[in-house]
Amino acid sequence: MTVYLVGAGPGDPGLLTLRGAELLRSADVVLYDRLVTSDVLRLARCDALCIDVGKRPGTDSPAADHRQDDIGRLLVEHGRKAAIVVRLKGGDPFVFGRGGEEIEILERAGIAWEIVPGVSSALGVPGAAGIPATYRGLASSVTIVTGQTRHAGESSGCGHEPDWEALARTGGTLVILMGMASRAAIAAALVDAGRGPDTPVAVIQNGTTAAQRTVCTTLAGLPDVDLGPPAVIVVGPVAGLGWRARGPDGSGG
């Protein structure tokens, strides 16, 4: 009996790894996150027990922490009696997926586990929109950060809040996940820390799916972007490449 933490990728089922698809078709139990698309879930066996364990936006809340405890209990419960359990996570299990915490729970319970990496939305979504994370002469580094913070621009002193001042100084490409609710505060913090208000920004909603939409703006205009989650925010010169938001027919994303 093994629990497999499988990365579902950014949305398009074609971006699920061969190993992930094989396990999903064989699983007795599937515990899936909110961002796992229905197209990916259709790959599961018709008789598999599929359990929605997704947390709603605001994963730093006490209620979400309680939900994470529930997920841990379900992993142990099913991991002890089902032959194959798939814990299906959007993107990659180890990129803001709390995969490490779930591995610790399985280790303490003495349950076998395996990680099946997935395409992270941090790189897969911008790539699908034609935005390279790095580009010679424009960006030699990329930083991935969560935007789920109640105090953008302020240090909590506990290491849990992104250091926006340091991120602004780093330069390169900044990819922000789960940041739409805090986009105004994030933009203000980056500008206050030295990034120009005219810094190019791209916001990609529902990346890699048929509903994908890209909005091009700047840090100054980011608060006015009216797109809901899931969305990835890309900050930096690569977001301003003129060809990157066009589809194959030359139209905008």
Residue of 153, 160, 150, 167 lying closest to 235 (CA atoms): 167
Q: CA-to-CA distance for 89 and 91, rounded, in angstroms? A: 6
Please give the torsion angle defined by the CA atoms of residues 101, 107, 7 and 187, in that order, rounded to the nearest 10 degrees: 10
- Residue whose entry in the numeric block shows the structure tokens 């994370």: 133
165 vs 154: CA distance, rounded Å: 9
Helices (H), the chain: 18-26, 38-41, 62-79, 99-109, 121-128, 164-170, 183-192
Classify strands 173-177 and 142-146 as parallel, antiparallel or unpaired. parallel
Determine which one of 12, 28, 33, 70 is catalytic.
33
55 is catalytic: yes
Interacting residues of 106 by C-beta distance below 8 A, sequence separation 6+: 3, 75, 76, 79, 112, 113
- Cα gap 158→163, rounded to integer Å: 11
Active site annotation includes 33: yes
Tokens found for residue 162: 């992104």
Q: Which one from 55, 69, 198, 249 is the annotated catalytic residue? A: 55
Residues annotated catalytic, as ranges:
33, 55
